[in-house]
Amino acid sequence: MSGRHARALLTVVIVLALFGLAVIYSSGQTDAPSNASGKWIGQIVWLGIGVVAAALAYRTSFRILEWGAPWLYAITIFLLVLTVVGLGGAAGTATGTTSWLQIGGVRLGQPVEFAKVATILMLARWFAARREPPRTLTGLISPIMIAVVPMLIVLKQPDLGSAMVFAGILFAALFWAGVGVPLLVLLLSPVVSLLLAWNTVLWSAWMVVLFILLVIWRPFILEAIGVYVANSVAGVLLMVVWTKMEVYQKNRILSFLNPEEFRKGPAYQAIQSKVAIGSGGWFGTGYTEGPQKRSGFIPEHWTDFVFAVVGEELGFVGVMVALGLLLALLLVLVRIARRASDPFASLVVFGIVGLIFTHIFENVGMTVSLMPITGIPLPFFSYGGSFLVALAICLGIGLRAAGESRASGYVDF
């Protein structure tokens, strides 16, 4: 029973790892000179390191993880702080950000990837320690802070993509811990207000809807006022935030809203990626043969936009296989989370689901212009050491959870 989930997880992971390696190999096959050549060898090395990291994670008891979560959290936050106080370096799509930790010009890795894992553990520990999930917004302040602290630090880098991942992890944890839907909606409401502030009519309508929801759900009166004020401020704040944003961030948002206008600028990447994917058709141009990739039109085609290579060379069929494997991975992890032996393990595994899901949605969505361009890697496909090792640790934990899942008392599949 439980062994079946472990076997399923292991199988999907191995297939994905090999698939990803093959795509990275293809990324290096270009006519225009690119940094991608030979990256597949690096990926093999990282996969090896990943296997070791996964094995270590697999051997680590959830009790040790629960005990060590605050320490890990503190250490990764500290490393994260280092990146914004002068030890950061730029990389990838997000040119101009300082997501790398580097000392003396030597890149040591991207602490944010490990901070994500530590945040998952910390949130799981906080919720697992309580019998009931908080029923008020005030009661949620602590777990929110756990996610918001690293989120604010990465926004300072600035790395919008990773900030969104922290938000994804937070909501996954809140949801899995059993926090009610009304609270989640109220929690999200300022963000909705912020997004709708572009249009006065829509924003006004939202404020009316919010008022009705507050009347129906009846939270504490102070919280209701707080939520309402927060929504008002978010709506008004939009312009302030806008003026504070970096030019490239503004351009990214604008170009996401209207790519054709930014054809030669920031939207160039989004358009070229979509052109490559669209030209793939049903079966693609053939493995390693993608002309857009070969001629260097796909930006960052071995990291952030690696999925465009899948789309161009393997076509819709190849994309469906890749998405199907990723979907299978997520669904297996959801089942493992459901059958985990204790709330902490369950929360950790579901946090991992939130992490991987956010990465997939953001990255794949970005390649077809569903999401704005944020430089976050696609699990198994993007070349990159820190993320691969962090992912391996997550999967090692997931595998242990699958192995430890309770053998009785629950409906079997």
Partner 1 sequence: MSSFTSWEVGRRAGAATAVIVLVFTVLSAAFFRAQIVDHERFELESSNNRLRPLPLPAPRGDILDRNGLAIAENVPGYAIKLLTQHEDSLRVMVDRLAAFLPEMEIDTAVVMRRWKIAKHEPVLVFDSNDPRVVFKIEEHRTALPGVVVQQAPRRNYSLGAGVGHLVGYVQEVSRTDLDSNRYPGAVSGDLVGKLGIELEYDSLLRGRPGIRYVEVTSRGRAIREQTVSNAVRPIAGRALATTIDLPLQRFVDSMWRQDLPDMRGALVAMTPQGAILAYYSYPAYDPNVFIETYRENRDNPAIPLYNRVIQGRYPPASPFKLATAAMGLRRKLVTMNTRMRLGCNGGMQFGSRYFRCWKREGHGSLTLTGAIAASCDVYFYQLGLMLGEKAIFEDGVRFGMADRSGIDLRPETRPAYPRSLESYVNSRGASRWARGEILNLSIGQGENAQTLINMTAFYAALAGDGIKRAPFIVQGAQGKETHNLDLTGPELQGLRDAMLAVVQGGTAAASGGREFNVAGKTGTGQMTSQADIAWFLSFAPVENPKIVVGIVVEEGLHGSSIAKYAVRTIGRFLIGPDTMALRRADAILEDEPLLGQVGGVDTTPPIPLPPPATPRPDAPPTRPR
Q: How far is the CB of 300 from partner 1 (least distance, A)?
A: 12
Of 226 and 299, nearer to partner 1 (C-beta) is 299
Helix segments in 281-380, DSSP class H = 291-294, 306-338, 343-367
Of 217 and 361, nearer to partner 1 (C-beta) is 361
Q: How far is the CB of 289 from partner 1 (least distance, A)?
A: 12
Say how many residues make up the chain. 413
Of 231 and 272, nearer to partner 1 (C-beta) is 272
Of 315 and 377, nearer to partner 1 (C-beta) is 315
Distance CA 252, CA 275 (A): 18
Nearest to 210 by CA among 347, 102, 219: 219
Of 105 and 412, nearer to partner 1 (C-beta) is 412
Burial (CB < 10 A; 0-12, 13-18, 19+), residue 282, is: exposed
Strand 106-109 vs strand 100-103: parallel, antiparallel, or unpaired?
A: antiparallel
Which residues neighbour 348 within 8 Å (Cβ) at sequence distance 6 or greater?
62, 65, 120, 121, 124, 397, 401
- 100-103 β-sheet, strand order: 88-89, 100-103, 106-109
Residue 4, CA atoms < 13 Å, CB-side half-sphere: 6
Q: How far is the CB of 66 from partner 1 (least distance, A)?
A: 15
**Do 108 and 101 form a contact (C-beta atoms < 8 A)?**
yes
- Exposed e or buried b per residue across 340-350, where buried means at least 16 C-beta atoms within 10 angstroms of its C-beta: bbebbbbbbbb
Distance CA 148, CA 100 (A): 20
Q: What is the DSSP letter of 85?
A: I
Of 107 and 130, nearer to partner 1 (C-beta) is 130
Q: How far does CA 23 lie from the centroid of its chain?
A: 21
Q: How far is the CB of 342 from partner 1 (least distance, A)?
A: 8
Distance CA 292, CA 249 (A): 26
Q: Which residue ranges make up the site for partner 1 (CB under 8 A)?
A: 31-32, 131-133, 175-178, 272, 274-282, 291-292, 294-297, 311, 315-316, 319-320, 323, 326-327, 330-331, 334-335, 337-338, 343, 346, 350, 353, 357, 361, 364-365, 368, 370, 409-411
Q: How far is the CB of 276 from partner 1 (least distance, A)?
A: 7
